[in-house]
Structure 1
Amino acid sequence: MRASITALSLLGALSAVHADLHHLIVGTFGTESLYTLEFDDSALTLNLIQNLTVSTASSWIALSHDKKNLYGTALSSGSSAVPAFVSYALGNATDITYSNLVDLGGNCSSSKAIFVMAATESPYAVYGTPFGGTADCGAVISVDESGVLSELIQNYTYKSTSAVHGLAMNTQNTFLYSADDSGNTLWTHSVDNTTGELTYVASLDGPATGSDPRHVAIHPEGQYLYVILEGANELAQYTVDQSTGIPSFQNVTYPLIPSGSDSSSFWSDEVALSYSTNYLWATSRARSTNATGYISAFSLATDGSITSQLFLSPTTNSGGTANSVSPSPFTDTFVALTDSSVGFVEIWQLAENGTSASVVARADLDDGGCCANAVWYS
């Protein structure tokens, strides 16, 4: 009975009414560009409407809570280039203006900034992490009254073997979770609701040696945390203690590559919740450009627990260093998927019964550095 009720709720979410035209902004790994794409959800077309030259490539971008600012990873341009974070003011999806650049700071000698995210509650601090070199640290950056990156207010540390690749914050903005790929660790920090600064709470080793947590997402109810295990090529579900904020692993995992596949030929990538939070999306990438990655979706109960893995389908290419999935903010039906091995963005559509998905639109952006991740502006 529970499964039937869940299925009905999923179908209801899929039939939600939405507008026709939507816009996405896409970052790159190696070219100094930001792309704006327009998706027509009636005609099922995806078109490039702007290629904006900027001062730095951003391998990860994120929107502010009000979509008035765009934040990205960057390599600062000085006599000695260092990892940094950049912000742009947004008038709309094509009105993008450079605002400021803030260095990672501290004793971090990493080769690059890898991830950035913004809090959704005041004081709306921005959080970023590096990867490569000495990457055992993170940055907390304040914003001004307009949401522009202002100054570095905290460098916090993980451990000497760390390199955090993904962050997620609970809905209340009280806890930050860090997926430590190189350190095979999941970290919990509490968030100061006045400054946005972090305090260490706990760390938890990956389920096994070489599991390598890469990206993480948390359900709005706060009871479940979803972690991509890059090395194990699995999605892991953690339960979260509501009083301490500390997650625990209950041995619940799902495969992100087909049974019998050589796990060393893949590296799993991204996890993200759908618009209604009735679904969870996850992806893996192929290490060879001659193979495909995989995309999967899961049905969720109202408390956020995974009820079933709906499908595991090959993507149209390896994904390169991307295969980053970005669910639309207006319906469960569509997700954007990026690829860096060829350089394209695709829109995948979930079937009405939720048991499969397929490509319905594509934009090729082969510039030698595209595409990293995409964010939906509208």
Structure 2
Amino acid sequence: MLSLLLLCIFTRWAHAALHHLFVGTVNGGSLYVLELDDAAKSLTVLKNLTAAGASPSIAFDQSNKYLFGSRPSDGTVSRYLIGPDHTLQLEGTGEIPASCNTTSFQSIKITSGTQSPYAIYGVASTGTCSTVFSMSITGFRTLKSKEIAGDVHSFAWSPNGEHLHALDSTANSILNYYISGDPDLQSLQATDIVTNATNVRQIITHPVGHRMYVVTQNSNELIDIPLRVDELLEKNTTQTRAYVLPKSYVSDAWVTTSLAISASNATLWTLSQSKAPDNTFIVSVFRLDPVTGAVLKPVARSSFRNNIGDGTKATSLLTPGPTIADGTDLVSFTTYPGAMTAVMGLVHKADGTWGISAYGRAMLAEDEGCCGEGAWVD
């Protein structure tokens, strides 16, 4: 009986150590499933699945039953049924509402709504014209906002799920849409400016604290912006700034492309990369107040090189991963060009300081279209 109990415990522990990351492609025709064994610190390609086309942005619905992938080249979103063995079955492809006098976009970013009716929301941009859109899980209902004379390729939900904050990189502004139980995407409540900023790149919000964060691409800054209780920006509020790179670095040699909050809400990660031909990446980690989201201080930084890719396209992305059994928060990042996916965690070292530990790296060099956005299913 004891041996059987130990076997059951070990089996449950071993299963819990496996996590699965889906990765899209920027201009390829595959969707990848990668398996992370967090105990062994290994990342392997579990499946290379044929997709309906490139999926640079992917998202699960709230039930994790379906995976959605966007295709900017023809303005479509495809839905895949996820099998118990992590296979994908294409169930259909729908067009996003016609926008900006085109069906071909430079970028389409999608994510799942956090409140009922749990539709898929997205932003599509030509680079000079953008629209916010929504598609029901079944695909039978689509909505779109009025067209935006700017480049919107990043957006984030308020903690209560009732506001969608869209970042316009052209005007360095944040558009706040109210999302009701029966949304129409016509409720643009406010447009606020990110002060003294240019080339804003990505926006995220703290899951419980009333604040949002923005990174700038060229000046490599992290901007902490408080929100009111109603999730709108407080007028004339202080927007706290921190440089994500050491001051000794020449800023115009680097671009900051992404940021992410860990699953525990305790850390914020930023990703920067050097311009060609060096092709070096730097990951910086900041401690957060887990309740308010206030940026407390930088605690760790790590650099590494990717020997594949020319480093001229700033498309590398961070995705928050699971918190594993020992309490370590994980994040993954994907690169294009470069065809690399890696997983890292923030660990507390014996000397009391924090460090970044590698949990696995997978090279997909045979696929020149890899890698797009990642999404964790468990």
TM range (shorter): 0.7 to 0.9
Identity of matched residues, %: 25
Say which of 77, 93, 105 aligns to 2:97: 105
The letter for the 2-side match of 1:300 is L
Match of 2:360 in 1: 361
Q: CA deviation at 1:134?
A: 4.3
Structure 1 gap segments, 5+ residues each: 1-16, 76-80
Structure 2 gap segments, 5+ residues each: 1-13
Query: Does 2:63 match 1:66?
Result: yes
Worse-matched range after superposition: 312-321 or 265-274: 312-321
Q: CA deviation at 1:319?
A: 9.3
Summarize deviations over 1:59-112 as a string: whole Å, max 9, x none: 11111122111122114xxxxx63222221212462211122222323323533
| TM-score for both structures, normalised by structure 2 | 0.85
Say which of 45, 67, 71 aligns to 2:42: 45
Separation in 2, partners of 1:309, 1:358: 16
- Superposed counterparts of 1:342-357, under 5 Å: 342-353=338-349, 355-357=354-356
- Superposed counterparts of 1:182-221, under 5 Å: 182-195=170-183, 197-208=185-196, 210=198, 212-221=199-208
Say which of 154, 157, 160 aligns to 2:144: 154
Aligned to 1:156, the other structure's residue is in SS state coil
Aligned to 1:127, the other structure's residue is in SS state strand
- Superposed counterparts of 1:1-378, under 5 Å: 19-75=16-72, 82-92=74-84, 94-108=86-100, 109=102, 111-144=105-138, 149-158=139-148, 160=149, 162-195=150-183, 197-208=185-196, 210=198, 212-243=199-230, 245-246=232-233, 250-301=238-289, 302-317=291-306, 320-331=313-324, 332-353=328-349, 355-366=354-365, 367-378=367-378
The letter for the 1-side match of 2:331 is V
**Is the 8 Å Cα contact of residues 259 and 271 (structure 2) preserved in structure 1?**
yes
CA separation of 1:163 and 1:246: change in aligned 2, threshold 3 A: same
Separation in 2, partners of 1:263, 1:93: 45
Separation in 1, partners of 2:323, 2:80: 24
Aligned to 2:371, the other structure's residue is in SS state coil
CA separation of 1:120 and 1:18: change in aligned 2, threshold 3 A: farther
Separation in 2, partners of 1:199, 1:241: 18
Dislocated runs of 4+, deviation >6 Å: none
Worse-matched range after superposition: 111-120 or 33-42: 111-120
Q: CA deviation at 1:239?
A: 0.3
Summarize deviations over 1:107-135 as a string: whole Å, max 9, x none: 32353332111112211122111233542
Separation in 2, partners of 1:208, 1:343: 35
Separation in 1, partners of 2:250, 2:259: 21
Separation in 2, partners of 1:70, 1:101: 12
Q: CA deviation at 1:341?
A: 2.9
CA separation of 1:132 and 1:51: change in aligned 2, threshold 3 A: same
Q: CA deviation at 1:328?
A: 1.5
Q: What root-mean-square deviation, in Å, do the aligned CA atoms of Structure 1 and Structure 2 show?
A: 2.4
Aligned to 2:215, the other structure's residue is in SS state strand
Summarize deviations over 1:239-298 as a string: whole Å, max 9, x none: 001135235651311212331333232221212111111111121222324231221111
Worse-matched range after superposition: 65-74 or 240-249: 240-249
Aligned to 1:168, the other structure's residue is in SS state strand
Separation in 2, partners of 1:188, 1:221: 18
Separation in 2, partners of 1:375, 1:220: 17
**Is the 8 Å Cα contact of residues 113 and 128 (structure 1) preserved in structure 2?**
no
**Is the 8 Å Cα contact of residues 210 and 231 (structure 2) preserved in structure 1?**
no
Match of 1:3 in 2: none
Q: CA deviation at 1:198?
A: 4.8
Separation in 1, partners of 2:24, 2:231: 36
| TM-score for both structures, normalised by structure 1 | 0.85
CA separation of 1:315 and 1:368: change in aligned 2, threshold 3 A: same
Worse-matched range after superposition: 298-307 or 241-250: 241-250
Larger Rg: 2
